[in-house]
Amino acid sequence: MSTRFWTGSRRDTLAGYLFIAPQLIGSVLFVFVPLGLVFWYSLHEWNVLADTFTFVGGENYQALADDPKLADALVATGFFSAGLVVLNLSLALLLAVLLNQRLRGTVFFRTVFFSPVVVSLVAWTIVWSFLLQDNGGINGLLETVGIDGPNWLRGEGTAMIAVIVVQVVKNVGLNMVLFLAALQGVPANLYEAATVDGASRRRQFLSITVPMISPTILLTSIITVVGSLQVFAQIAVLTQGGPGTSTTVLVYYLYQQAFQFHHFGYGATLSVLLFAIVLLLTLVQWRMRRKWVFHES
């Protein structure tokens, strides 16, 4: 009976489930269960100091709609995300195109641009916090050419730009490597045929390179957008959300509400909002892929 039951197909099915079991268990324990708990907490007011956990229903969501500071946090988040995504992707693609040439020293420069990716985020941010001070290294370099630099992290017009640049320099190497791999997979005969037809370098880039690497552009854009919405350490170390609320992005505002003001229920509500924004933007990018990603139309 047991021999008849354990047929070849059933053994293969069991082996398949065993292979995916660690990933499935990890996803349930560390993704789906925490998501469910966050939503559950958002329906409660949790006072750790008084040791109370009170069901409040939709009051936290009503407070979210009435919060006058939320709009500033969303604007700061949008500005940071837009600036980071545009600068990161454009610079990464430019570097990949330049370093895809068969020239001396390209391996060295690939290493140089990728090395910040493996550096500790906190250590990287602390170093830049010293460089961007009023008497830091950046202003010291500017003084050598007669420019009096601002206090980058204390000016409302420069703080967010400084944080964006620090993050771009830190992570541009990752997208550069992904673009390099995509560029090296473009068949050379396409460029040869285009050259014979008289196509310029610009036309070859727009009509051959961009369509052929468009799946990688989609991947990097999703990764970069999601990462930009989750920024925290850079804000916490460099500006602490200031000056004023100019760099108080949504994740840092969530941190303030939950861990500084001990409004854990409202902090969980902000987490639900963040999850909804990330999910919405990811779905929009995924649905739009059919309009511009090669082989997806």
pLDDT in tens, 64-93: 999 999 999 999 999 999 999 999 999 999
What are the phi and psi torsion angles at 203 (to 5°)? -65, -40
* Highest mean pLDDT out of 8-17, 101-110, 222-231: 222-231
Only one residue has tokens 């493996």, namely 118
Q: Quick check: 42 pLDDT over 80?
A: yes
47 by DSSP, 3-state: which? strand
- Considering the chain, what is the average pLDDT of its residues? 92
Instruction: Please check the confidence at residue 148 and state whether its pLDDT lies above 80.
Output: yes
116 and 124 Cβ atoms separated by less than 8 Å: yes
Percent of the chain with pLDDT over 90: 82
Q: Is the pLDDT of residue 2 over 70?
A: no
Residue 135: strand, helix, or coil: coil
Q: What DSSP state is assigned to residue 264?
A: H
CA 135, 141, 146, 147 dihedral sign is negative
CA distances to 11, 100, 173, 208 from 94, in Å: 50, 10, 11, 16
DSSP letters, 169-223, are HHHHHHHHHHHHHHHTTS-HHHHHHHHHTT--HHHHIIIIIHHHTHHHHHHHHHH
Report the alpha-carbon distance of residue 35 to residue 270 in Å, rounded: 13
Alpha-carbon distance of 177 to 99, in angstroms, equals 10
Q: Check residue 1 and give its pLDDT.
A: 47
Spatial separation of the C-alpha atoms in residues 37 and 14, rounded to whole Å:
31
Q: Span 106-114, mean pLDDT?
A: 91
Secondary structure of residue 55 in the 3-state scheme: strand
Q: Is the pLDDT of residue 9 over 90?
A: no
Two tokens, residue 181: 């791999």
pLDDT (tens digit, 9 = 90+) per residue, 43-64?
999 888 788 899 999 999 999 9
pLDDT in tens, 172-222: 999 999 999 999 999 999 999 999 999 999 999 999 999 999 999 999 999
pLDDT exceeds cutoff 80 at 135: yes
Question: What pLDDT, on the 0 to 100 scale, is given for residue 239?
Answer: 95
Angle at 141 between CA 135 and CA 144, to 5 degrees: 105
